[in-house]
């Protein structure tokens, strides 16, 4: 008899990385033989979606208990955690869910902060106490749990962020050639901290050193940011591109692309650029998809990038350093062999990152906790 899994998460059509992650995981868990359904987090009730059996509405006082009642019909709960997706300050209502659910919970931690607020620390401590197993996507995040929350390392599984197989037939070729213009791509939900302004300033420094690449910035503004600030950040970037005389080289595409459309854009990119400001980010779906597609990557030194790229799949640069960005782009696009070596390294990494392999790890973890008692509260 197949294991029955209840996944708690945001879910498409919600435009967020956790929703996209969960949809892919659910699809591949089902493909691996699990009976899997979704309890979806929503701001307001929405029309049904495939596999969604219950909606946890943000302002419903009984939302956590109702969700727990539904989830108790499954063998194991797979709970996606990010501070911003659950109701209450710092998403603390997720602890109400854990207090009432009676089956083992596997909690996937998409963010583990080094300097959490007191309440953020309390939320993670509650998740640790109420989960049969924890998943991080990097060793850095696992180490933070061990050091900051005193978690037994044996309780934390490191499972890569999944990615679709998007490797192009020419992934091993040097991407830039003098007869055509190179393309540099940054994608994902747009918000302060993406560092696109540093990328624009880096492009300016490439003038006179090589043919200026086209720079594509793809993705809509993050819905929470849009509610709070409108398009202020995007408007500043557009103005900066104009001031730097880059309007012929930079294109902002504000659409939320489907998976198929986005994968085509990624395949066409010669370099994926992640100029993020954060030094905290322990999970990046954009990075995982770029490496799995065999694209050379230039990234700032956030933890997930350091772990994935240090072996040669990309170049790491300091945060907020346009000169370093320009130097790295020039090296990838003009030095013989550099891009090809990056692509070959990415190819070696890709197999363990693809969704079928990742889903099998989750399935094995769920089977392992299926009959395990919940840990004692701390």
2, pLDDT greater than 50: yes
Q: What is the mean pLDDT of residues 16-23?
A: 93
Element spanning 158, H or E: strand 156-158
The helix, strand and coil proportions of the chain, stated in percent and rounded to the nearest 5, come to 45, 20, 40
The predicted pLDDT at position 179 comes to 59
78, pLDDT greater than 60: yes
The Cβ of residue 104 has, within 10 Å, a number of other Cβ atoms equal to 22
Q: What is the mean pLDDT of residues 227-231?
A: 92
Q: How far is CA 198 from CA 126, 234, 271, 291, in A?
A: 38, 14, 16, 22
If pLDDT is split at 50, 70 and 90, which confidence band does 249 have?
very high
Q: What is the mean pLDDT of residues 1-7?
A: 93
* Distance (Å, whole) CA 59 – CA 53: 19
| pTM over the 0.75 mark | yes
Q: What is the mean pLDDT of residues 144-162?
A: 96
182, pLDDT greater than 90: yes
340, pLDDT greater than 60: yes
Between 48 and 372, name the one with better pLDDT. 48
* Distance (Å, whole) CA 347 – CA 363: 25
The predicted pLDDT at position 15 comes to 86
The predicted pLDDT at position 174 comes to 44
Delimit the CATH 3.40.50.2000 region(s) of the chain: 4-162+355-369, 183-353
Out of 3-12, 78-87, 162-171, least confident range? 162-171
Q: What is the CATH number of domain 4-162+355-369?
A: 3.40.50.2000
Q: What is the mean pLDDT of residues 326-350?
A: 93
The predicted pLDDT at position 171 comes to 46
Q: What is the mean pLDDT of residues 257-263?
A: 86
Between 7 and 13, name the one with better pLDDT. 7
Q: What is the mean pLDDT of residues 133-141?
A: 96
246, pLDDT greater than 70: yes
pLDDT > 70: percent of the chain:
95
Place domain 183-353 in its CATH homologous superfamily: Glycogen Phosphorylase B; (3.40.50.2000)
If pLDDT is split at 50, 70 and 90, which confidence band does 358 have?
very high
The predicted pLDDT at position 377 comes to 40
53, pLDDT greater than 80: yes
- What is the DSSP code string of 22-41? HHHHHHHHHHTT-EEEEEEE
The predicted pLDDT at position 376 comes to 44
């Amino acid at each position: 008899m197949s294991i029955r899994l209840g996944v708690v998460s945001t879910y498409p059509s919600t435009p967020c990385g956790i929703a996209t992650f969960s949809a892919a995981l659910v699809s591949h868990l089902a493909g691996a033989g699990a009976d899997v359904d979704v309890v979806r987090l929503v701001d307001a009730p929405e029309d049904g979606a495939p596999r969604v059996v219950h909606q946890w509405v943000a302002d419903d006082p009984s939302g956590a208990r109702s969700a727990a009642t539904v989830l108790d019909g499954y063998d194991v709960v797979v709970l996606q955690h990010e501070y911003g997706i659950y109701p209450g300050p710092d998403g603390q209502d997720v602890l109400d869910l854990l207090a009432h659910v009676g089956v083992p919970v596997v909690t996937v931690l998409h963010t583990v902060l080094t300097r959490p607020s007191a309440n953020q620390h309390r939320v993670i401590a509650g998740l640790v106490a109420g989960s049969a197993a924890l998943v991080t996507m990097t060793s850095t995040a696992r180490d933070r749990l061990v050091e900051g929350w005193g978690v037994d390392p044996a309780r934390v599984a490191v499972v890569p962020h999944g990615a679709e197989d998007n490797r192009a037939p020419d992934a091993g070729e040097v991407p830039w050639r003098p007869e055509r213009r190179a393309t540099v791509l940054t994608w994902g939900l747009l918000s302060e901290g993406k560092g696109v302004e540093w990328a624009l300033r880096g492009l300016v420094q490439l003038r006179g050193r090589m043919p200026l690449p086209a720079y594509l910035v793809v993705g809509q503004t993050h819905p929470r940011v849009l509610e709070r600030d409108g398009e202020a950040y995007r408007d500043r970037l557009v103005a900066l591109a104009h001031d730097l005389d880059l309007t012929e080289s930079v294109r902002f595409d504000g659409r939320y692309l489907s998976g198929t459309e986005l994968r085509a854009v990624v395949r066409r990119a010669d370099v994926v650029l992640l100029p993020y400001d954060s030094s905290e980010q322990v999970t990046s779906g954009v990075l995982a998809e770029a490496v799995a597609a065999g694209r050379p990557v230039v990234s700032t030194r956030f933890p997930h990038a350091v772990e994935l790229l240090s072996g040669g799949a990309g170049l790491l640069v300091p945060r907020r350093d346009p000169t370093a960005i320009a130097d790295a782009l020039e090296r990838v696009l003009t030095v013989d062999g550099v891009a090809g070596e990056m692509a070959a390294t990415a190819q070696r990494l890709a197999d363990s990152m693809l969704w079928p392999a990742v889903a099998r790890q989750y399935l094995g973890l769920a089977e392992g906790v299926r009959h395990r008692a919940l840990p004692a509260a701390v």
